[in-house]
Structure 1
Amino acid sequence: MQTFENKVALITGGTTGIGFATASEFIERGGKVIITGRSQNTVDQALSILGENAHGLVTDASSMSDIGQLQNRILAYSKCVHLLFLNAGYGKFSGLANADESHFDELFNLHVKGPFFTVQQILPLMQKGDSIIFNTSFVTDFGIANFSVYSAAKSAVASFIKTFASELSDSGIRVNGVSPGHISTNIYSKTGLSNEAVEQTVAGIIPTIPFKRFGEASEIAKTVLFLASADASYIHGATLKVDAGISVVK
């Protein structure tokens, strides 16, 4: 198993779900993490579990003013970042007829504008051999009704993986992505659906998954850390699907 001793990871949206699982796994393998979250309460809760090798920042991954302060805030804790995992995000449903500008801007600011300028801020702290990993989604592989804005935003992320890889090749910084399928996280908490509607949605989805179950956040975390490790030293500009084959198996 690849270890990450003397390595530091910055994980956006690291207080719950995939981000938290990745932070926990990174620490278990000897590294230190900086996690971000929107509220002091969720950051403190995560840190109480992650322990002394974790540091937390309360920051909005979609806010340009917060992103503009990110580099200096990280420098107060670490002079370098070896893994940047751009994970912060959530999905929201809206049909074409009902989507408004605020819905569009919310998702594009969080999933597209925020990650772009976060990379810009953190790049000066990275060097040859380090990794940038984006969290995209299987929704980029086919059309899902009422998910057009979220899918478009994640498609932009998929494009960043390729274009950033091209731009950063000479620097030796590898850029890759992980594309999760249906994962047991709190992703539905921001959709506006009631608990009953979420349960019905999940019940309807499970039969469509080749393995007939949702994936676990830890399964995505292990993929992220593989991509960040020396074991993946020749993987660049790639997106690994971790979706039980739902995007290709019928």
Structure 2
Amino acid sequence: MIRVCNLYKEFKSGIINKNIVKAVDDVSFEIKEGKTLGLVGESGCGKSTLSRLILRLIESDGGKIYFNERDISNYDFSQMRDLRKEMQIIFQHPDSALSPKKTIYGSLVEPLKIHKLYEKNKAREYISEYLSFVGLSEEILNRYPHQVSGGQIQRVALARVLLLNPKFIILDEPTSMLDVSVQAQVIQVLKKAQKQFNITYLFISHDIDLVKEVSDEVAVMLDGKIVETIEAKELYKSAKHAYTKELIENFNNF
């Protein structure tokens, strides 16, 4: 479903002495259809930059991105707009995921209008079905984001994505701002959605234990590079790279 080949992105920092930071440095991986690749690493290692490169939210300085065997590396704005409903992202902060000026219904109906999937007489019923799927009732539609919890907002964000029937979703630290019990609820909904709709995930987190739980394979990122990729079930007993072992040790000692 997703194949990334030698992806590269650098940024310049400093006003006088320009320093080049290799945010993503020759990264390659693939994710099979219906599977989850977990991407783990400390803050600042390049995980979020990589996710935005894959979705072409920022431009790379080199490399190729293939989606469903299509090379999308040089797609223009119009081509990417048509593809957006198939490639979606859920961000880390639920409190900034929705417009504070719109009701939940307004935020959910917007992508349907953008992608020309809106049918006035059917929209509310269609949206309610997906709300029910993520464990929310229809009554939430008339509320504003400040009137619901962070866990509810994150499930609304997931419903908004699922409305478009995407094939691939990037989950960028989707539970890090939630308490443990709510995290578990959101993870269960994500697993249910993947199973029912055959969605492919890139699950990004600094929590190596969570990544192991939700992923089929785990890629470990350090200083813009993927230093090791390993089957999730083998992670704790077969990790070879020193940094991977350090992450595991630090988590177990936490």
TM-score, normalised via structure 2 length: 0.35
Q: Which has the higher contact order (CA 8 A, sep 6+)?
A: 2
Higher radius of gyration, 1 or 2 = 2
In terms of fraction of residues, the more strand-rich structure is 2
In terms of fraction of residues, the more helix-rich structure is 1
TM-score, normalised via structure 1 length: 0.35
